[in-house]
Amino acid sequence: MMRTTTLLAATGVAVFLLAGCSSNASDTATTSTTQSTTSAAPTTTAPPLDMSQFGVLPPVSEPEASSTTCEYPEATPAIRDNTAPATDGVSTVGTVDVAITTSQGPIGLTLDRAEAPCTVNSFTSLASQGYFDETICHRLTTTEGLEVLQCGDPSGQGNRGPGYEFANEYPTTAYPVGDPAASEPVVYPRGTVAMANAGPDTNGSQFFLVYEDSVLPPQYTVFGTIDEEGLATLDAVAAAGVSTPGNDGPPNAEVTLQSVTT
């Protein structure tokens, strides 16, 4: 069965947004008895979302060793042929620069192995095999509190992956098992790269690029940052809006990942 890999917390964010809205009653102005009564249109203004009411991402812990072992169990058959990444001797040290050429402009990433070694290992493996090349970013979200571009599914539908899954890493692993704080919303800052999923430990190939501070529970693995040139590209895509009604759907300015190289 195919599952949609997405930001499942979007509904939760909407709840917080609704809690912050206010609606003013209609204003009615009455003139003299010789003139008709007119009513001004009601004005409803949502105040800016107060990000200070949400938590922040926890500190990144120093890795206990310079390498680790990862697991990539089989999942729904891959939408595009690839070989699963190596599982032993995966580095936990240093960063990896990624150059993404898109139809809307360049996006540079810096991936952090200390944050998420198994995620970085998977992403760089897929990139080296051309898995992401000539694929579209299928989802743009422009709601205040959730402003991201989601990519990484060669089908363009948001429900397929590389044929394997792997466990959440930072920030999920920064919380003790059973800690309720692991479900409380935190701010994913502008410039964050994180994995989309269909629930805990279902990471595959889909990822999202945060172009404005976004509120999510810490259940989406953070594995890098976006450079300034990339943010400018994302800002332009976001400014063009969404091609379907509402604030969540395919971007008007279609984004094709032409190449993803390390």
Say if residue 11's pLDDT is above 70: no
Section 41-64 average pLDDT: 84
Q: What is the pTM of this model?
A: 0.85
Contacts 24+ apart (CB under 8 A), 90-93: 90/117, 90/118, 90/121, 91/66, 91/67, 91/117, 91/121, 92/63, 92/65, 92/66, 92/67, 92/68, 92/117, 93/63, 93/66
Tell me phi and psi for residue 10, to 5 degrees. -55, -40
The span from the CA of 134 to the CA of 126, in Å, is: 13
- Please check whether residue 262 is in contact with residue 221, taking contact to mean a CB–CB distance below 8 angstroms: no
- Cα angle 82, 207, 59 (rounded to 5 degrees) comes to 120
Q: Which domains does the chain have, with CATH numbers?
A: 75-261 (2.40.100.10)
pLDDT tens-digit readout, 173-196: 999 999 999 999 999 999 999 999
Say if residue 32's pLDDT is above 50: no
Q: Rounded to a whole number, what is the distance in angstroms from the first to the last CA of the chain?
A: 33
Say if residue 24's pLDDT is above 70: no
Say if residue 1's pLDDT is above 80: no
Mean pLDDT, the chain, integer: 87
What's the full length of the chain, in residues?
Answer: 262
Say if residue 79's pLDDT is above 70: yes
Supply the pLDDT for residue 48.
87
Section 55-62 average pLDDT: 95
Instruction: pLDDT band for 5, please (50, 70, 90 cuts).
Output: low
The span from the CA of 86 to the CA of 91, in Å, is: 11
